[in-house]
Amino acid sequence: MLIYLAMERVLLIARQQREGWQTEEHFAGLEPTCLALDPLRPERVFCGTFDRGLWRSNDAGHTWERIGESRPGKEDGISYAQIMAVTVSSNERVGEHSVVYAGTEPTAIFRSEDGGASWLELKELRGLPSAPSWSFPPRPTTNHARWITPDPHIAGRIFVAVEAGAVLRSQDGGKHWEDRKPDGPLDTHTLLMHSQAPDRLYSAAGDGFIKAGRGYSESYDGGVTWQRFHQGLQHHYLWGLAVDPADPDTIIISGATTPAHAHATKVSANSAVYRKTSGQPWRQVTHGLPEAEGTIAPTLACNESEPGVFYALSNKGLYRSCDAGEHWEHLALAWKPEYEGQHPQALLISNI
């Protein structure tokens, strides 16, 4: 097994060996932001960085090359170096390649049909009526594509979460776009779908910080209408989200009472993890997880081949649950003191 852990100033790759975990550092100082795995070629991994563009590995993270750089007189690159989201479609293919999508700051979406060698901007998105209202509070003069979610059931249907301002939908691989829907989430931080639940979307958002009860939303009609589920939550600014690969109704989220408590390092951080099952309220889970005080809101992930298993990455390290989020264990990775002052950015689990 391989685990990719993007921290604020370094990418860690943990390789499971017979004697334990071997951890490598990559991209020291490059601010990795997002990760994606190619389902057709699991040894191919993409890593976005905040100011140094998009990178690709074809050998499970041993070596990396920058891709998508803009070139004078060419329009086949990614126009911005701030890569905030990247994903690989599981069902959209061109020849031998999976379609790759990358999102940037300022908000723009790019599509590659050749494994990342060339890119096309999906320009209609930037002309949507709601675009002038998009704004990212820490950098209010700009905004970015926070999450890109291809529909695992309908090839070419993709959803984009803009931070902050919208959840957008395309039905044709990004050629045309539909604007945000009335009462949809505005500040989505994680946007997911499930292989067993057609048309169902899950959103963990910061909306609950403005109005309690609006942090967690689901759509059952492909993003047209949204329902809120907040019973049991005491932390309404939500960040991480993962859904059990074997059960679309078993969900875990991470959050805090304020953005500062979710993201600030060391003393100011104070976060929580919650679990929900079908028809039940949210319930905070703590067994095996680090103390809430001093813990940045974890990034959450799961692996399609591991039913009932969840992973949580925070500044305190990597944790795993093997009973659908009830109990957690700390994985013994080499964890330097400097990592405790870094924000977790992305987490990716690979079967290689």
* Tens digit of pLDDT at every position of the chain (352 positions): 999 999 999 999 999 998 899 999 999 989 999 999 999 999 999 999 999 999 999 999 999 999 999 888 778 999 999 999 999 999 999 999 999 999 999 999 999 999 999 999 999 999 999 999 999 988 988 999 999 999 999 999 999 999 999 999 999 999 999 999 999 999 999 999 999 999 999 999 999 999 999 999 999 999 999 999 999 999 999 999 999 999 999 999 999 999 999 998 766 899 999 999 999 999 999 999 999 999 999 999 999 999 999 999 999 999 999 999 999 999 999 999 999 999 999 999 999 8
Residues 58 and 155 placed together within one structural domain of the fold = yes
Count of domains forming the chain = 2
Residues 11 and 59 placed together within one structural domain of the fold = no
Residues 3 and 81 placed together within one structural domain of the fold = no
Q: 112 is written with which tokens?
A: 């590659």
Residues 63 and 13 placed together within one structural domain of the fold = no
Q: 167 is written with which tokens?
A: 């959840």
Of 223, 96, 65, 250, give the one whose Cα is nearest residue 159. Answer: 223
Residues 315 and 291 placed together within one structural domain of the fold = yes
**H-helix or E-strand containing 12?**
strand 11-17
Residues 3 and 40 placed together within one structural domain of the fold = no
Cβ 253 vs Cβ 237: under 8 Å: no
Q: 26 is written with which tokens?
A: 């990559």
Looking at residue 266, what is its pLDDT? 60
Residues 56 and 166 placed together within one structural domain of the fold = yes
With a CB cutoff of 8 Å and minimum separation 6, the contacts of 324 are 244, 247, 250, 275, 308, 310
CB contact burial 47-59 (16+ within 10 A = b; e otherwise): bbbbebbbbbbbe
| Residues spanned by the domain of 288 | 1-30+229-352
Cβ 341 vs Cβ 265: under 8 Å: yes
Residues 266 and 333 placed together within one structural domain of the fold = yes
Of 349, 269, 283, give the one whose Cα is nearest residue 8. Answer: 269
Residues 76 and 117 placed together within one structural domain of the fold = yes
pTM comes to 0.97
In a domain, 189, yes or no: no
Mode of pairing for the β-strands spanning 197-205 and 32-37: unpaired
In a domain, 57, yes or no: yes
Q: In Å, how far are 1, 49, 81 from 84, measured between CA atoms?
A: 26, 7, 9
Residues 45 and 132 placed together within one structural domain of the fold = yes
Q: 315 is written with which tokens?
A: 């500044």
In a domain, 4, yes or no: yes
Phi-psi region of 158 (alpha: psi -120 to 50; beta: other; left: phi over 0): beta
Q: How far apart are the first and last CA of the chain?
A: 5
Cβ 44 vs Cβ 115: under 8 Å: yes
Looking at residue 267, what is its pLDDT? 65
